[in-house]
Amino acid sequence: MQILRAKLSRPIVLFSFITILGYGLLLPFTGFYWDDWPFAWITEFLGPSEFIPAFMPFRPFLGPIFYATTSLIPSIPLYWQTFALIIRFLIGFSAWWTFSQIFPTRPRIALTIALLITVFPGYSQHWVAYTHINQELIPFLFYTLSFGFTFKALRAARPFPYFILAILLQICGIFPTEYFFGLEGMRVLIIFFFHKMDENFILRVRSTLKIWLPYLLIWILNALWLIYYYKFGPYNSYEVSVAKDVTNANLLLETADTLWKVCFYIWGQVLVLISSNIFSPTSLLTLVLIFLTFISLIFFIHLFDGETSHRNFSLSLIFVGLVGILLGRLPSLAAELPFRLQSSYDRFSISMMIGGSFFTIGLIELLFQNSKIRIFSLLALVALGVGQQFFNANIFRRDWEQQRKIYWELSWRIPALKPNTVLLTNQMPIDYETDLSFTAPVNWLYASKITPPSLPYALLYTEKRLGGPTLPSLARDTSISFAYRTLNFNGSTSQAVVIYMPANGCLRVLDPSRGDAEIYANLPDSLTNAIPLSDPSLIITDSTKSASPRFLLDEPKHTWCYYFTKAELAFQVGDLEKVIALEKQATSSGYAPEDLNEWLIFIEAQALTGEMETAKKLSKKILDEDVKMRRGVCVTWKQIQTRVQKDASMIASLRSTLGCNQ
């Protein structure tokens, strides 16, 4: 027992160490992304049981997984990111146990394959925890353990219990998601190449098929289920169909691209990514972490000792790895979905992790006969994988910080909102959320209760939705309706508020009565054409309970955007004195806008309260900074002129001085 503890303790420490370095250092600063928001919102407002009907039109066997995890873990980002860290450790440790069963006499091979799977740099979606832990990583964990119990059964005196576990884990891994459909082909290859290697070819084929037959039957059952579900059943997601129009040339290009990325490029990808800005803090920290990880791994170097693999064994690893990569790519290729690194599409690499790790280890074993070179090469790859995952974590950290800014500014500007209102915008300056991702937190902000099947609010990107079934046109009284899992939003273009969030600046409500259609004419037509629909009166300004994203995000320090959004809200209710007071508070605290358009509301407030000279000076100051602001300044003074009739001639002269008649 003491020997067993010692044997387990060293790998546990190693996998814990690598998991924390790769995924844990920035964990407290990451949050929810993509579909995390709808799933968290469903849990909070409709309950975990809602996942069963919610997944019925998509992946019905995922519902129970979501139900189980969301029943145990509250919808708090820190909890889910911590859970993701635990699952990552379990994947690495389980992979080590699995490949120890497959290669019982080659502990070094088992360990290195498991380490490469743990930090596999082609997969960047770890931090979309609520979604991908349930959707991919837990089924992957089941599938990996299924491989291990297959070989445990083959070598056990009483194999039946292990065989049953292998079958059950295979079912739990393959049925929830189609991602791992091709992965089953690796089982038969591993059995053929690495079990009873001393048998002749014919005997190996026979014994392999005999062992694999029960798993093959499950695989066939899964294939029949997929064919029925996608072709004849209730499936209602992106259309999955074998690529009918793909030419042989395109197929070869896709295959070559996949093999290049998974076999070679991903292991040095982090160096390519940081080379574009090598002296940035992120790049320098990543390089330091890679170096420290490599040095630290030297303390575990005794775990990597072992004799050089035979050439045939190395070639077998390479061959099984290459086929495994292609089998892993098969489901996404059949769905005509691209495989792009550093995007949501790299989630497909999870089914290529085992194949990619097999190939990499096999190639190193084949090329480097010197044990020190071989070991240090492997340690370098693990360190690069850790660096890549840290680099990814920092991207998600920045995204979460930007989300924090958006949600708080939205709550400051729109304290409450009339039900059945749609927020229209062009595109938020953010990478990991779509309009339907934002729809969930918008409802979380403004609806304290949900009465199924009605969804009270929606946020839509005009750029993406205009002309489609969700947003057919921007004509008034156009119906807007769509399904949101088990709920339905039913609204109209006549009940819309148009918002805009610049890449550098503050969130604002665009108001046709203030000339915003002219001021922001340089924005895409899909947004500016929506501005006449914007109805700020749908914003409830005197709500007794104002919206606050404090349920998930701490309130940031009150800087310029706080004062600007509050000033815009004050202007809407006609409290011009408050607008001016907020400007003074902001400027006296040393804050100023990044987007000069944000001065315009203060120019208008100053002029409307009789402070014409102050408004004039501010206008000239803006034009001195950027002559391109002339349109915004001139439209603002045009609005002022229509509202201040007694000074119309003086304002006309001022507009001429500002170059508004050019």
What does the pLDDT look like over 118-162, one tens digit per residue? 999 999 999 999 999 999 999 999 999 999 999 999 999 999 999
DSSP string, 182-228: TTHHHHHHHHHHHSSTTS-HHHHHHHHHHHHHHHHHHHHHHHHHHHH
Percent of the chain whose predicted confidence (pLDDT) is above 90: 71
Say which residues have a Cβ less than 8 Å from residue 220's Cβ, sequence separation at least 6: none
pLDDT of residue 233: 57
**What radius of gyration do the chain's Cα atoms show?**
29
Residues 378, 330 contacting (CB under 8 angstroms): no
Q: Are 380 and 433 contained in the same domain?
A: no
Q: With 70 as the cut, is the pLDDT of residue 6 above it? A: no
CA 415 to chain CA centroid, Å, is 28
Kindly state whether residues 564 and 540 are assigned to the same domain.
no
Q: Which residues pair with 539 in a beta bridge?
A: 417
For residue range 599-620, what is the model confidence (pLDDT) as tens digits? Answer: 999 999 998 888 888 888 898 9
- Asked if pLDDT for residue 218 goes beyond 80, the answer is yes
| Domain total of the chain | 3
* Nearest Cα residue to 537 out of 480, 566, 496: 496
Claim to verify: residue 317 and residue 459 sit in the same structural domain: no
pLDDT band at 234 (very low <50, low <70, confident <90, very high): low
The H-or-E segment that residue 112 falls in is helix 107-118
Report if residue 409 sits inside a domain.
no
CA 2 to chain centroid, in Å, comes to 43
Backbone angles phi, psi at 580, to 5 degrees: -65, -40
Measured distance between the N- and C-terminal CA atoms of the chain, rounded to whole angstroms: 89
Q: Are residues 479 and 390 in the same domain?
A: no
Q: Is 483 helix (H, G, I), strand (E, B) or coil?
A: strand
The residues, any chain, with a CB within 8 Å of residue 612's CB and separated by 6 or more, are 606, 647, 650, 651, 654
- Higher-pLDDT residue of 203, 455: 455
Number of H helices, E strands in the chain: 27, 6
- Beta bridge mates, 490: 481
Instruction: Give the range with max mean pLDDT: 326-335, 528-537, 551-560.
Output: 528-537
Report the alpha-carbon distance of residue 68 to residue 479 in Å, rounded.
37
Classify residue 408: in a domain, yes or no: no
Residue 554, pLDDT score:
81
Neighbours of 363 (CB within 10 A): 18
pLDDT at residue 610 in the model: 85
Q: Are residues 511 and 580 in the same domain?
A: no
Asked whether residue 403 is assigned to any structural domain, the reply reads no
Buried b (16+ CB within 10 A) or exposed e, 580-607: bbbbeebeeeebebebbbbbbbbbbbbb
The answer for residues whose C-beta is within 8 angstroms of residue 146's C-beta and 6 or more apart is: 165, 166, 167, 169, 170, 173, 187
Task: Band the pLDDT of 72: cuts 50, 70, 90.
Answer: very high
Q: What residues form DSSP beta bridges with 286? A: none
Residues 140 and 180 sit within 8 Å (Cβ to Cβ): yes
Buried b (16+ CB within 10 A) or exposed e, 531-543: bebbbbebbbeee
In a domain, 187, yes or no: yes
Does 107 or 195 have the greater pLDDT score?
Answer: 107
Least reliable range by pLDDT among 2-11, 551-560, 570-579, 651-660: 2-11
* One domain for residues 91 and 219: yes
Choosing from 370, 398, 426, the residue where a domain stops is 398
Q: Are residues 365 and 471 in the same domain?
A: no
Question: Which of 170-179, 237-246, 627-636 has the highest average model confidence (pLDDT)?
Answer: 170-179
pLDDT in tens, 152-168: 999 999 999 999 999 99
Is there a single domain that holds both residue 342 and residue 193? yes
Mean pLDDT over 527-553 rounds to: 86
- Identify whether 157 is part of a domain: yes
Residues with Cβ within 8 Å of residue 266, at least 6 apart in sequence: 120, 121, 122, 341, 349, 356, 388
- pLDDT score of 329: 93
For 436, the token pair is 């339907």
Gap between the Cα atoms of 55 and 146, Å rounded: 25
pLDDT score, position 662: 58
Q: What are the backbone angles phi and psi of residue 321, rounded to the nearest 5°?
A: -65, -45
pLDDT tier at 319 (50, 70, 90 boundaries)? very high
Domain boundary among 398, 432, 456: 398
Separation CA 297–CA 74 (nearest Å):
35
The pLDDT assigned to 3 comes to 54
Q: What are phi and psi of 205, to 5 degrees?
A: -60, -45
427 in a structural domain? yes
Residue 38: is the preceding peptide bond cis (ω within 30°)? no
Q: Indicate the Cα dihedral angle 536, 636, 427, 283, nearest 10°.
A: -130
353, 370, 398 - which closes a domain: 398
Q: At what angle do helices 371-413 and 281-297 cross, to 10 degrees?
A: 140
| 594/410 Cα distance (integer angstroms) | 18
Residues 413-439: what's their mean pLDDT?
92
482 in helix, strand or coil? strand
Distance CA 267, CA 32 (A): 27
Contacts of 325 (CB under 8 A, 6+ apart): 258, 259, 262, 263, 352, 355, 356, 359
Q: Could you tell me if residue 79 is inside a domain?
A: yes
Percent with pLDDT over 70 in the chain: 95
For residues 483 and 390, state if they share a domain.
no
CA nearest to 433, candidates 27, 23, 32: 32
Looking at residue 240, its pLDDT comes to: 44
Q: Which of 404, 405, 409, 407 is nearest to 569 (CA)?
A: 409
Domain that holds residue 602: 558-662
pLDDT at position 22, please? 96
599 and 486 share a domain?
Answer: no
pTM score, whole prediction = 0.91
- pLDDT band for 239, please (50, 70, 90 cuts): very low
pLDDT band at 370 (very low <50, low <70, confident <90, very high): confident
Using CB atoms within 10 Å of the CB of residue 52, give its burial: 0 to 12 exposed, 13 to 18 middle, 19+ buried. middle
Per-residue pLDDT, 232? 60
Tokens of 328: 């892993």
629 inside domain:
yes
Higher pLDDT, 276 or 655: 276
Of the candidates 399, 415, 261, the residue with the CA atom closest to the CA atom of residue 340: 261
- Among all chains, which residue has been given the structure tokens 């048998």? 199
Same domain, 536 and 513: yes
Question: Which tokens in the block code for residue 585?
Answer: 């508070």
Residues near 274 by beta carbon (within 8 Å), at least 6 away in sequence: 280, 282, 283, 286, 287, 391
Of the ranges 115-119, 366-370, 393-397, 529-533, which one carries the lowest mean pLDDT score? 366-370
Asked whether 167 and 218 are in contact (CB, 8 A), the reply is yes
Which pLDDT value is given to residue 5?
61
Q: Give the residue from 183, 88, 174 showing the smallest Cα distance to 137.
A: 88
Res 242: pLDDT:
43
The two three-digit tokens of residue 422, written as one number:
């749609």
6 and 111 belong to one structural domain: yes
